[in-house]
Amino acid sequence: MTRTLTRPAPLPSPLRLGLARGGIELKQFFRQKEHVVFTFSMPAFLLVLLGSIFNDAFGNSGVTAGQVFTASMVGAGIVATSFVSMGIGVAVDREDGTLKRLRGTPMPAVSYFLGKIVLVAVSSVAEVILLLGVGMLLFDLSLPTELGRWLTFTWVFVLAVISCSLLGIAISALARSSQSAPAVTNIPYLGLQFISGVFINPITALPAAMVTVASFFPVKWISQGFRSVFLPDSMVVQEMAGSWEHGMTALVLTAWCVAGLALCLATFRWTNSRS
């Protein structure tokens, strides 16, 4: 086999490679049964169960428990497709040689992370569509029509996905192996769903101390943000603070974006062994 000697061609741009990585990441994610079943479909499965078991209406508001679960579960769902997916995915990439291989090629690190961003963005949008579909079909959820609510949806979604992806990448370093990664990511995720008003509605039914703990983490604020998008304003009385607290939501999630980035930079490793 002859090596063709040609004039040095320019290296492909990091952006183009990032998009190519994104395509490959999506293929791998949706072809992997474990991801599709446990990470992607689990929130919808839980929503079907919870919404069917608790189907009372909230007082005379006309809002059913199923609708509240749907709004909260949209938040929990994108935490799965960002935090859990990254936490497991990067640990697997580190263990199966993906990162080592990439490091030996002219693909820059930024393209790898761009690919992960594409994966998280696409799978999170798909997750939202799936959960809203379940809510509309089974629990008569109707989508908001006001532009303002969709603006709220957009910034909550973007801040949620960025902060949780960064935290997922950071926690993958803690996982050390792909076997322990699902436990290391799912335990905080599951615990936070219980104390953040995702599984237990309304959030005021929870002990105040638990919600105080949950308030330090993103899940509570993400779910609360989506409740403010998909539930009528009369439901605000069911919130701990009696208000949607948009300012606080933006503040906490932005702080986690910054903290997540710092943790990533401090903990990211290309391989399991130390050099």
Partner 1 sequence: MTRACAWRSTLGGMNAIEARGLGKTYRDVHAVRDVDLTVRQGEIFALLGPNGAGKTTTVEILEGHRDRDSGDARVLGEDPGKAGRAWRSRLGIVLQTATDAAQLTVAETVRHVARYYPNPREVDDVLDACGLTEKAGSRVRQLSGGQRRRLDVALGIVGNPELIFLDEPTTGFDPEARRQFWVLIENLARGGTTILLTTHYLDEAEALAGRVAVIAHGEIVAEGPPATLGGRATAEATVGWTDENGRHTKHTATPTALINQLSAGGRELAELTVSRPTLEDIYLDLIGDRQ
Residues making contact with partner 1 (CB under 8 A) = 1-6, 8-12, 16-17, 20, 24, 27-28, 31-32, 93, 96-98, 100-101, 103-108, 275
- Nearer to partner 1 (CB atom), residue 28 or residue 204: 28
CB of 32 to partner 1, least distance (A): 6
CB of 178 to partner 1, least distance (A): 10
Report the b/e string of 139-158 with b at 16+ CB within 10 A. bebeeeeeeeeeebbeebbe
- Nearer to partner 1 (CB atom), residue 11 or residue 255: 11
- Nearer to partner 1 (CB atom), residue 154 or residue 180: 180
CB of 212 to partner 1, least distance (A): 42
Amino acid letter for position 83? F
104: DSSP letter: T
Distance CA 38, CA 19 (A): 26
CB of 24 to partner 1, least distance (A): 5
Written as one string, the DSSP assignment of 146-182 is -HHHHHHHHHHHHHHHHHHHHHHHHHHHHH-STTTHH
CB of 179 to partner 1, least distance (A): 14
Structure tokens given for 149? 């609510």
- Nearer to partner 1 (CB atom), residue 15 or residue 53: 15
Distance CA 89, CA 93 (A): 6
Report the b/e string of 55-94 with b at 16+ CB within 10 A. eeebeeeebbbbbbbbbbbbbbbbbbbbbbbbbbbbbbbb
- Nearer to partner 1 (CB atom), residue 28 or residue 61: 28
